[in-house]
Chain A
Amino acid sequence: MTAEGDRDRIELPDTIELPRLLDLFDLQTAEYTGIAPFYERLAEGRLSTTRCADCGEVHFPPRVVCPGCLSDDLAYVDLPDRGELFAFTEVRAGGPVGFEDDVPFVVAIVDLGDVRLSTRIDDARGEDLAIGDPVELKVVDVVGPADLERVWFRFVPVAD
């Protein structure tokens, strides 16, 4: 038997690059996703989604096939950049990996008319908000670890 100090070793790296599977955000270019136009528009400050050219259904999130009629003839349409708070809460514990210290933050459902989407409300504490409050789109940059420019959307309170 080899003495303890003389054994061969299995050496693990100190750090492992964040695997793609653990990244909450998709790669956003056409090389990686069929909804790249959504992200391109978002980078320009426009929140958009797909509308079916055949049956007229407006989807959110954007699709490559219409869940209403299975058509793949879809067109991008802009969504309003203002909406109303349908529901919200302030998360005070339980951020995901890498964002443990990001709390508190406000998650919400915002009613934009054609769609009711899940999002975050920045620049507010939960106690400052009420159902029905007007909110406005805000585009944020997603930085690292992918060597690509990425964006995401949030909303902020706005005066009536």
Chain B
Amino acid sequence: MATTRNVAILGGGHTPWGTREATWKDLAQEAGKATFDAVPGIEPSDVEGLFVGTVQPERFANQSHLAPLVGELLGVEATKMIARTELACASGQAAIRYAWLAIAAGQLDVALVLGVEKMNLPGHMAEAHSSMLNVMDREFDGGNFSNAPPFFALVAQRHMHEYGTTREQLAQVAVKNKNHAAHNPYAQFQREVDVDDVVDSFTIAPPLCLFDCSGITDGGAGVILASEDVVREVAQPDDVAWITGSGQASLAGNSMNNLPSFSSWPQATIAAENAYEQAGIEDPLAEIDVAEVHDCFSISEIVEYEALGWAEPGEGGQFVEDGRSALDGDIAVNPRGGLLGMGHPLGATGVSQALEIVNQFKGAVEPARRVDDPSVGLTHNLSGTASVHSILTFAREVPR
């Protein structure tokens, strides 16, 4: 691994997620305040790099040049580096990734990463559906009015067709994650559900029902990243999340016309193998304690078990059915509540996932969804037609 300096996430903060009576700018300010409030020892004046993950503010908020706007809103003078990142649903992780690389490369010592999305426009729900179709090939997928739910319905249909994955197994992912979210005060959906609730919810695009789908969500989240020198000044080095590995892959395809598979995600496998190698993870199932993976739809998490090397191809459904991704399973998957329970304010999701790993390491989450003494964590995002997969690994122990 070629990075030169250790980098950790010190901590961060969160806005309530859901349908918010708030503008993009309101959410950015709330998330920024929550972040600085949660990280004693770091003030806005300490921040040298500012990275803002947000996907569609040009459409949902009619606003560009978001990172300097956040600087103005939070009184942050970015004297070393500033950028907005857009990688569709992985934009928040992309922002963390660039902050990490800038610090690891010695360009700066302290970065604020903020993920923000405003998606609910009262009376204009269709705007969100339109904005989900232009992350594919707008001309050749959008012209068919295909957006995220039908695309992932096709994946579910193929996975069921090829492997015999069941409707109930899809529902079990939603039940697990939504029942975690029921204990997360920041979640959009805080109601416990059972398998019947999921399969009986409104059918969006067979086989996917409403509860198989993440929400259309307003929200923000923020984290502070720092170099090892700064971490040792302002925090205990075993009370943070050190970034230990990264993997990211995209295989010359984005449109639904040019994907390598509809039932597996080889990009995720490449990303996971690279991240595991960098982090020194030889047996992910035994070594990873907590993972926040991109369950934008219930089927996504099942395919991810397989692509990330936790289950054999076709056995992802059995993996959740057997409880191996439960809080007390082999890997606690999505204790935050996942996208299915938390909702999915696009650019904020990756940031919130990383914050969850830090908070799980600190033991600072509600007892009903707390993982027992975790020391190794992982976050995963897919974006677009699952054409890109992005993975970061974390450890409580300072990397050597």
Candidates B126, B133, B138, B153; contact of A89 at CB < 8 Å: B153
In the complex with contacts A89-B153, A109-B256, A120-B145 CB distance below 8 A: yes
Contact B204 A96 (CB under 8 A): no
Interface size class of A (residues with CB under 8 A): 35 or more
Which A-chain residue is minimally distant from B124 (CB atoms)?
A97
Contact B130 A120 (CB under 8 A): no
Q: How far is the CA of A117 from the CA of B137 in the complex (A)?
A: 12
Residues of chain A lying within 8 A (CB to CB) of residue B205: 89-92, 94, 107
Distance in angstroms from A153 CB to nearest chain B CB is: 9
B146 in the interface (beta carbon within 8 A): yes
Candidates A26, A89, A92; contact of B154 at CB < 8 Å: A89
Q: How far is the CA of A89 from the CA of B149 in the complex (A)?
A: 10
A29 in the interface (beta carbon within 8 A): no
Q: Which of B97-131 contact A (CB under 8 A)?
A: 124-127, 129-130
A113 in the interface (beta carbon within 8 A): no
Which B-chain residue is minimally distant from A116 (CB atoms)?
B257
Q: How far is the CA of A80 from the CA of B203 in the complex (A)?
A: 34
Interface size (B, Cβ < 8 Å)? 38
Which A-chain residue is minimally distant from B125 (CB atoms)?
A100
Q: How far is the CA of A86 from the CA of B149 in the complex (A)?
A: 17
Distance in angstroms from B211 CB to nearest chain A CB is: 13
Contact A87 B142 (CB under 8 A): no
Residues of chain B lying within 8 A (CB to CB) of residue A93: 202, 204
Which A-chain residue is minimally distant from B155 (CB atoms)?
A87
Candidates B130, B150, B207; contact of A91 at CB < 8 Å: B150
Contact A117 B257 (CB under 8 A): yes
> Which of B147, B252, B257 lies at the interface centre, i.e. has the most chain A CB atoms within 10 A of its CB?
B257
Distance in angstroms from A43 CB to nearest chain B CB is: 15
Contact A99 B139 (CB under 8 A): no
Contact B150 A89 (CB under 8 A): yes
User: How does the 8 Å CB contact mask read for A98-126 relative to B, with 1 for contact and 0 for none?
Assistant: 11101001011100000111111000001
Contact B161 A107 (CB under 8 A): no
Contact A109 B154 (CB under 8 A): yes
Contact B203 A92 (CB under 8 A): yes
Q: How far is the CA of A98 from the CA of B208 in the complex (A)?
A: 24
Contact A26 B126 (CB under 8 A): no
User: How does the 8 Å CB contact mask read for A40-71 relative to B, with 1 for contact and 0 for none?
Assistant: 00000000000000000000110000010000
Contact A152 B143 (CB under 8 A): yes
A16 in the interface (beta carbon within 8 A): no
Using A89-B157, A98-B126, A118-B255 as known contacts, list a sample of 14 further A-B pairs with CB atoms less than 8 Å apart, ordered by residue number in A. Answer: A26-B139, A89-B154, A89-B205, A92-B202, A92-B205, A93-B202, A94-B129, A96-B133, A97-B130, A99-B126, A109-B256, A116-B257, A117-B140, A118-B141
